[in-house]
Amino acid sequence: MWPGDNPRLSIPTEWHDVVRLWAACRGEDGIAHWPDAGGLNDQAAWIVDAFSILSGLSARWDAEAPKAQA
C-alpha cells in the first residue's frame, strides 16, 4: 500500500489536530464549547468553517451507518 492510499498518512498533522480539537469541543447536541473564550463571534472564521464542515460530515456518516450495516 502506498502512503497516498491512506488519507491518514497523506493529510498534514495540523489537520489531524483540527479534527481532535473539533471532537474535544463537541457534545451530544453539537458544539458544547468553543476553543477560544467567548461565543461564536469570538472564534477565528476558519475554525467556525472547519467545525461546520466536520459536523456536516459527521451527520452524513451517522445517516449512512445504518445503510452500511444492512
Distance CA 46, CA 51 (A): 8
Give Dmax over CA atoms of the chain in angstroms.
45
Cα four-point dihedral sign 57, 46, 39, 22: positive
pTM above 0.85, yes or no: no
Query: Each residue of 19-49: pLDDT tens digit?
Result: 999 999 999 888 999 999 999 999 999 999 9
As a whole number, the mean pLDDT across the chain is 89
